[in-house]
Structure 1
Amino acid sequence: RDARVDRSTISQLLNDDGARLPNAQVVAACAGLLGVSADWLLGLTDRPEPAADLLATSLTLTEAPRALVDNQIFNWHQEAAGYKIRHVPAALPDMLKTRAMLEWEYSPHLGRTTSQAIGASEDRLAFMRESRSDYEIALPMHELTSFARGEGYYRGLPGPVRREQIAHLTRLHEQLYPSLRVYLFDARKLFSSPITVFGPLLAVLYLGRNYVAFRDTERITAFSRHFDALVREASVPARAFPGFLTDL
């Protein structure tokens, strides 16, 4: 009635012989009144939600604060506990850094609260390291070679801090492998933006000041296949990671 469609028209539309199909105006009116999508009414999809609602739930844009472990990232890790988490970081992953490395990196940003901020984050970093999730991390080889030489982003980082960090990475591999697997790829052959795939739940793209999070299966699968390619084409597989560190 609210759609202004008479009963005879409804009867014809519901008739099994399919003699009459609804016009666009009728479909749009019914979809709007019922709060569903026109595609669902026509049997073209199994999802009844309108397109705008689907987009709102499948894609979100959130701020990415300059912090050791911001609340959003930590919440995603908690949500995905028990699933495999696959990560291409923008630099060395915070969860694998020494305290001295974190202090050097975050002191200019955090100022007088550096020690408190690092102390508060250590429990969260420990949770992420010790959760039931398997972690796969893919890094470009030049990230570690630049780190070892103190070049580029790492210029000014004291040698003892760099050597301690490399030794720390070696120990973590010994302690956590195969739950933690680090792959190194050649950035001249492959490229990846910073991304994280939280099992089958969501995939996140890091833009610098924002995260773009996808929850639809198609895009999560696409991100996973991208990570598969990084692993498949890795110049240094996970089992060879300690040897690469030794040669730095």
Structure 2
Amino acid sequence: MPLHKRETGEIFQKRLQQLLQRSGMNKAQFAESIGVNRSALAQLLSEQLLRLPRAETLSRIAQAHKVSIDWLLGLSQDEHLLSELSSVMEIEQVANGQHTKLGQWHRDAMGYKIRYVPSNLPDSLMIEEVIDYERQYTQIPIEIRKLETNSQLAYNRITESEMEVCLPLQRLKLLAQGVGIWEELPKALRRQQLEHIQKLVDDLYPSYRLFLYDGRKIFSAPLTVFGSQRAVIYVGDMYVVINSLEEIRALTRHFERLIRNAAVNPHESAAFIQALLAKYG
């Protein structure tokens, strides 16, 4: 069961106090070690405020005191900083019946902007019937796909979350027309899926922003940039996980080029989908 914000704040305070006590530092020294002043540290430790730090501060606390962000936020009982063991690049194989690490990566990037180019439709915007239909084209088990969809949608509904999604506009046109991989999907389900996307991009805006670019003019492989934490490129049943800051920044610049070349901007996405529904029924 997900923690409420107050519970998360209480756990964070207890664990921050624990780090302070075992560090052997006074409060001024501890504050300096995590890059804040004494006043900011006092606020973080105040039982009246129950204030969570900014993502950058949370990351500095984890790095300075060799603990995981998940442990600080009460998402894990394992305090060890696993990221220290990460290489510059890793291959993550998705074996049959195994969960992927997407949910973990989203939690690690809490408070950072996530940039996402899906391999087909955005996971968090898909209805169950389309996930069922799409399973013939994916090697990831269906129950895991549904779990990831629900998990990502829950993440998108968090106030502090921020996600930008870039998608070729032709992908939505093909869905509306029922051609390509969608030719066997009933028209009623295609319409239901488009209406679902239209509703969610409207409801989740502006924290969730959908950009549509012309796939004939610019190309992108499927990828997700999880803030400055990591980037992931999707290759069939494998994820190429990139942990080097320099390469993460390069992929971020690539994503920004997609945004600059967008033919449909986030505030126009719902209207674009409505036009497809009107044209193709």
TM-score w.r.t. the length of structure 2 is 0.62
1:61 counterpart (91, 110, 128): 91
What is residue 22 of structure 1 aligned with on the other side?
none
Q: Is the contact made by 1:83 and 1:134 (CA closer than 8 Å) also made in structure 2?
A: yes
Shift of 1:58: 1.4
| Correspondence 1:139 to 2:162 | no
Cα distance per residue 1:38-64 (max 9 Å; x no partner)? xxxxxxxxxxxxxxxx99621111113
| Correspondence 1:86 to 2:145 | no
* 1:63 partner letter: Q
* 1:238 partner letter: P
Alignment of structure 1 residues 134-213 onto 2, 5 Å: 134-213=162-241
Between 228-237 and 205-214, the greater mean CA deviation after superposition: 205-214
Shift of 1:71: 2.7
Mapped to 1, the partners of 2:271 and 2:225 lie a distance apart of 27
Segments of 5+ residues of structure 1 without an aligned counterpart are 1-53
Shift of 1:239: 1.2
What is residue 244 of structure 1 aligned with on the other side?
272
What is residue 124 of structure 2 aligned with on the other side?
95
* 2:104 partner letter: N
Cα distance per residue 1:158-211 (max 9 Å; x no partner)? 111111111111111221100110111111110100010000111111111211
Shift of 1:120: 4.8
What is residue 7 of structure 1 aligned with on the other side?
none
* 2:204 partner letter: L
Shift of 1:106: 2.9
Cα distance per residue 1:110-134 (max 9 Å; x no partner)? 9xx96x6676556524433223321
Q: Specify whether residues 200 and 143 from structure 1 end up closer, same or farther in structure 2 by C-alpha distance, changes over 3 A only.
A: same
Q: Is the contact made by 1:64 and 1:208 (CA closer than 8 Å) also made in structure 2?
A: no
Q: Tell me the SS of whatever aligns to 1:204.
A: strand
Mapped to 1, the partners of 2:138 and 2:88 lie a distance apart of 33
What is residue 73 of structure 1 aligned with on the other side?
102
| Correspondence 1:128 to 2:155 | yes
Q: Tell me the SS of whatever aligns to 2:212.
A: strand
Shift of 1:147: 0.7
Q: Is the contact made by 1:95 and 1:128 (CA closer than 8 Å) also made in structure 2?
A: no
Q: Is the contact made by 2:125 and 2:197 (CA closer than 8 Å) also made in structure 1?
A: yes
Shift of 1:78: 1.4
* 1:105 partner letter: E
Shift of 1:223: 0.3
Question: What CA RMSD, in Å, does the superposition of the two structures yield over aligned residues?
Answer: 2.6
1:104 counterpart (110, 123, 133): 133
Structure 1: 4+ residue segments shifted above 6 A:
107-110
Q: Which has the higher contact order (CA 8 A, sep 6+)?
A: 1
Mapped to 2, the partners of 1:63 and 1:73 lie a distance apart of 12
Number of aligned pairs? 191
Mapped to 1, the partners of 2:148 and 2:231 lie a distance apart of 23
What is residue 216 of structure 1 aligned with on the other side?
244
Q: State the percentage of identical aligned residues.
A: 34
Mapped to 1, the partners of 2:219 and 2:149 lie a distance apart of 31
Q: Tell me the SS of whatever aligns to 2:215.
A: coil
* 2:217 partner letter: K
Mapped to 2, the partners of 1:93 and 1:118 lie a distance apart of 12
Segments of 5+ residues of structure 2 without an aligned counterpart are 1-83, 277-281
